[in-house]
Amino acid sequence: MAIMDIFSDVQQFLSEPKKLFIGGEWVEPSSGEYFPVENPATGQNFAQVSMAVEADVDRAVAAARNAQEGAWAKVQPAERSRLMIRLAELIEADAENLGQIISLENGKPYTNAYKGEVVITANIIRYFAGWPSKIEGSTIPVSPRGGEPMLNYTLREPVGVCALIVPWNFPLSMCAWKLGPVLATGCTAVLKPAEQTPLVALRLAELIQKAGIPAGVVNVLTGFGDRAGAPLSAHDDVDKIAFTGSTGVGRMIAKAAAGNMKKVSLELGGKSPNIILPDADIVRAAKGSADGIFYNQGQVCTAASRLYVHESVLDQTLEELRKHAAAHLVGPGLDPANTMGPLVSREQHGIVKGYVDRALNEGAELICGGKAPAHLEGGYFMEPTVFLDRQEQACIAREEIFGPVVTVMSWSDVDELVHRANNTPFGLAAGVWTNNLKQAHTIAAKLKAGSVWINCWNVVDPASPFGGYKQSGWGREMGKNVIDAYTETKSVFVDLS
């Protein structure tokens, strides 16, 4: 099949250098500088966006503060819901354009961008649109020492101005994970998308404006981590920071946030163990495990990157995995025939290739993949790759790769297996494939991970909490848990004597 044409709305959107969105207006960057956005399927630059620097951070935070204490504070909960539902509808109406923009800047297949990410984004905003009228305090029966009658109640208030720093792997839905609770709780935001994928966040800003969400509630700064992200995370007038990305940058953000004691939530890396028990439906388990590592070219924080297979079903599982890897068509995401696109950037491709080379040097056995498909030039492609590591000693068994590379290991004793599965600094996700109810729940209880999937993988729902143990993060997103992260609780005492 052929590469699809760029929709006329998208052409129009890309035709001029993109400005920053501050205080409800499109403004020039104070640096006067722009940077290019690259199509990772071709290596060609196709758009220019503004380079935000510290002065822009100051402007955007001031606009967010202004909205926080002004117009937005006057908007009633029911009206916030209405605005959010309107935004979800606008996202749905623009789904094809959003999908194409995501595919262009991130590389992922158009269908995954459009039917997957854009639809999920609208669903997330809709879910959070139900919250504004349900964020409530309580009355608490207190016992004053003097015996005087006392009324005590709590108020839930927005935490304030939130810095949202998001990565490139899900450039639109990651914005929604954070903007959903921001809008629901009555907070305001300065959003900094990743430098690789700034465009879809700007398109979202247009829809936010169109939905009638007041000026300054959401501000978008395109730029780099050092010049925009760092001053934003250190800013004294930011009340909370929510970050998704690498564990290294998460650590820097936690330090920067300490200056004014910002509230911090972090969603970081992973090296998630995926366990196949001997009684599992192997055909289904292998399919789920392949999807768990190859989806989004493996650039998923919850990628099923460590696969522990019971020794009695190892050969069968490897055979199935080889089949699934071979069935993938790797190529430009805008060719509807392709099921896997390129990695996001030359840098990411280099990281993944580096891991493959190291694994080979360290004695891991290559089952399939491991290189860029021969017929593709110019883009950052990588075949779906399966390694067998009998000794569990290669770095690919321990470190986050963030690419379509799974490390298969075998096991025989279940207690030792659980120990091996938990023997990692990460704790984002884990999975078990089995038809044994008792084993499933017993192992699920022992795994140190924020999400455990039994006979499935990568199931995420806006109603259910998501986040990491250990170095995979701080706090939970989604569900009612995230509402706590974006609100302060005030306890009010009234002496009734």
Residues that bind ligand NAI (CB under 6 A): 165-169, 192, 194-195, 224-226, 229-230, 233, 244-246, 249, 252-253, 267-269, 301, 348, 351, 400, 402
Q: Is 149 exposed, middle or buried (0-12, 13-18, 19+ CB in 10 A)?
A: exposed
**119-129 vs 77-93: helix axis angle to the nearest 10?**
170
Output the smallest distance, CB 226 to ligand NAI, in A: 6
Please answer whether residues 268 and 246 qualify as being in contact, where contact means their C-beta atoms are separated by less than 8 angstroms. Answer: yes
Give the nearest distance from C-beta 251 to ligand NAI in angstroms: 10
In this complex, which beta carbon is closest to ligand NAI, that of residue 336 or of residue 354?
354
Nearer residue to ligand NAI within complex by CB, 51 or 268: 268
> Using CA atoms, how far apart are residues 183 and 203, in angstroms rounded to an integer?
18
> In the complex with ligand NAI, which residue's Cβ is closer, 402 or 433?
402
Instruction: Find the shortest distance in angstroms from Cβ 231 to ligand NAI.
Output: 8
Please report, as a single letter, which amino acid is at residue 282: I
- Of the residues 187, 301, 320, 383, which is catalytic? 301
Q: Report angle CA 242, 473, 84 to the nearest 5 degrees.
A: 35
Q: Which is nearer to ligand NAI, 264 or 286 (CB)?
A: 264
Catalytic status, residue 301: yes
User: Of 191 and 386, which CB lies nearer to ligand NAI in the complex structure?
Assistant: 191
Min dist. Cβ of residue 272 to ligand NAI (A) = 11
Shortest distance in whole angstroms from residue 400 CB to ligand NAI: 4
285 or 344: CB nearest ligand NAI: 344
For residue 300, the minimal CB distance to ligand NAI (Å) is: 7
Residue number, 186 or 370, with CB nearest to ligand NAI: 370
CB of 483 to ligand NAI, least distance (A): 22
Query: In the complex, what is the shortest distance from the CB of residue 40 to ligand NAI, in angstroms, rounded to a whole number?
Result: 13
3-class SS letters over the chain: CCCCCCCHHHHHHHCCCECEEECCEEECCCCCCEEEEEECCCCEEEEEEECCCHHHHHHHHHHHHHHHHCHHHHCCHHHHHHHHHHHHHHHHHCHHHHHHHHHHHHCCCHHHHHHHHHHHHHHHHHHHHCCHHHCCCCECCCCCCCCCCEEEEEEEEECCEEEEECCCCCCCHHHHHHHHHHHHHCCEEEEECCCCCCHHHHHHHHHHHHHCCCCCCEEECCCCHHHHHHHHHHCCCCCEEEEECCHHHHHHHHHHHHHHCCEEEEECCCCCEEEECCCCCHHHHHHHHHHHHHHHHHCCCCCCCEEEEEHHHHHHHHHHHHHHHHHCCECCCCCCCCCECCCCCHHHHHHHHHHHHHHHHCCCEEEECCCCCCCCCCCCCCCCEEEECCCCCCHHHCCCCCCCEEEEEEECCHHHHHHHHHCCCCCCEEEEECCCHHHHHHHHHHCCCCEEEECCCCCCCCCCCECCCHHHEECCECHHHHHHHCEEEEEEEEECC
Active site residue 395: no
Question: Which C-beta is closer to ligand NAI: that of 56 or that of 320?
Answer: 56
Please report how close the Cβ of residue 335 comes to ligand NAI at its closest, in angstroms.
Answer: 25
Which listed residue (38, 105, 267, 400) is catalytic?
267
| Complex with ligand NAI: residue 168 or 466, whichever CB lies closer | 168
Query: Cβ contacts of residue 38 below 8 Å, gap of 6+?
Result: 44, 45, 46, 105, 196, 345
Catalytic site positions: 267, 301
